[in-house]
Chain A
Amino acid sequence: MSENPVFDRIKSEVASQDVVLFMKGTPVFPQCGFSNAVVQVLTYLGVPFKGINVLEDDDIRQGIKEFSEWPTIPQLYVKGEFVGGCDIIREMFEQGELRDYLAQKGIQTEAA
């Protein structure tokens, strides 16, 4: 099975910044409650991130699900690694794991 041509674009986006969030809408105007929840967590932690609006690009919207073998949006990538969707990010945050995970990856977060 040849690789999905959009994967190259996804790989470059994923590598373009330490923290990349594929989401519905933009960080300033999230258009989905789940995407907004992840934006709120990252904003609370003071983590700069790049938001990619999948609603503006259907190839990316479908391709990202194949790329990560994850069926839903949002999807958070840290240093090129898929971390999870809304549930996982929220659970990691609530259990204090997200801050540690980011620190391990060399990403500063604001003091609590």
Chain B
Amino acid sequence: MAMTASDIERLIKEAIPDAIVDIRDLAGDGDHYAANVISAAFKGKTRVQQHQMVYSALKGGMGSELHALALQTSAPQD
């Protein structure tokens, strides 16, 4: 069962409430997305930690239902 863009956005926002989430469907198959996530919660964290936060928000979906999520994360500019 693939994931929809709105599933991804909802899950990320549930875990990271202030996140601004911009998702692009790369292939139209529910399996390949690009997402840009901006949140103050990323401040001071390494990229690996930021991406791990997003992956854990997806509750195991990443790498199973969701094959590919090209991810970019950043903290809001001050």
Contacts and interface: CB of A to CB of B under 8 A. Distances in A.
Interface of A: 34, 65, 69-72, 82-88, 91-92
Interface of B: 47-48, 51-52, 55, 60, 62-63, 68, 70-72
B63 A87 contact: no
Given A65-B63, A71-B55, A71-B63, A84 B72 contact: no
A91 B72 contact: yes
A84 B51 contact: yes
Contacts of B70: 86-87
A65 B71 CA distance: 17
A102 to B, nearest CB: 16
A69 B52 CA distance: 8
A70 B68 contact: no
B14 to A, nearest CB: 18
B47 A72 contact: no
A87 B71 contact: yes
> Would you list the 8 A-B pairs with minimal beta carbon distance, nearest first?
A71-B63, A71-B62, A88-B47, A72-B63, A87-B71, A71-B55, A84-B48, A87-B70
B23 to A, nearest CB: 14
Given A65-B63, A70-B55, A72-B63, A34 B68 contact: yes
A74 B71 CA distance: 14
Contact of B47 (A34, A69, A71, A91): A91
